[in-house]
Structure 1
Amino acid sequence: MNWIAIGTLSDIPQRGARCINTPDGKIAVFRTADDRVFAIDDHCPHRGGPLSQGIVHGAAVTCPLHNWVISLETGKAQGADEGCVRTIPVKVEGDTLFIALDALAHRAA
């Protein structure tokens, strides 16, 4: 995989998110309370709400518009809701965050 540096772990508060713009749309990068990092498309599968503005709890985020809960690990809506968002591989080396550029290009095709 081709990895691209997108910032540092300290750029994202615990239980928070930051967005990066890509040619394929906005990606939300989340940091959990236990410092795990996940990247998903920044739109809820329900009505396109900005997931990066949602509440992070465990390994999930709650959409700020209609309270859909999305797994940060799988991108799937939880509970009775149905739908999913794209997940993007992330790795942390030291304090530097990387996303898999190949995954973005492959999924855009």
Structure 2
Amino acid sequence: MPEQWKMICRLKDMPVAGPRMVQRGLAWQDLPGVALFRAADDTVYALLDTVPGLGGPLAHGVLREKNLIGPKNSWIIELDAGRLVAPVQAMARMYAVRLLDGRIYLDLKELNVPASKAEQALAGSFALLPHVQMA
């Protein structure tokens, strides 16, 4: 497997309905992490832990089939498309996931790309990219 792919955990160690968090951040500032969710069919989804357009953590959601439902049904994300469908429409930031021999891998190069204009400004001003840490 190319060096850009980092093993996160074994599939069997990941709870069905998740979440499992992968932390990101500059040395002096925490950035939104990546929330991993495992569906009943063993599909694994990786999304930036921010509800698009609304704010707040995705990790507070509950996985129901292929949808992530916010507390008290406050929002719904269709995970196959990464689309927030209620209460407004927006796209979630999704990350590539590879399953190989029962292990879950994420692409480090993709994870280290700033997730917002604010992160880009921070990374550019300090000539640093966010650093992925295992939670």
Instruction: Assess same fold via TM > 0.5.
Output: yes
Instruction: Please name the residue that 1:72 is paired with.
Output: 79
User: Deviation at 1:80?
Assistant: 5.6
Count of aligned pairs between the two proteins: 109
The answer to whether the aligner puts 1:7 opposite 2:9 as a matched pair is yes
Task: Give me the whole-angstrom Cα distance separating, in 2, the residues matched to 1:93 and 1:22.
Answer: 23
Q: Which has the higher helix share?
A: 2
Runs of 4+ in 1 over 4 A off after TM superposition: none
Gaps of 5+ in 2: 26-30, 121-135
Q: 1:16 maps to which residue?
A: 18
1:65/1:101 CA distance change after superposition, 3 Å: farther
| 2:15 partner amino acid | P
- What is residue 36 of structure 1 aligned with on the other side? 43
CA distance in 2, matches of 1:46, 1:10: 33
Residue 49 (1) aligns with residue 56 (2)? yes
89-98 or 1-10: which moved more?
1-10
SS at match of 1:77: strand
What is the aligned-residue RMSD (CA, Å)? Answer: 2.1
How far residue 6 of structure 1 moved from its aligned partner, in angstroms, is 0.9
Tell me if the contact between 1:71 and 1:78 (Cα under 8 Å) persists in the aligned partners.
yes
Take 2:5 and 2:22, find their aligned partners in 1: how far apart are those partners?
Answer: 15
How far off is 1:43 after superposition?
Answer: 1.4
Deviation at 1:47, TM superposition (A): 3.0
Aligned to 1:94: 101
Once the two structures are overlaid, the 10-residue window that deviates more, 1-10 or 30-39, is 1-10
Q: Give me the TM-score of the superposition, normalised by structure 2.
A: 0.70
Partner-residue secondary structure (3-state), 1:102: helix
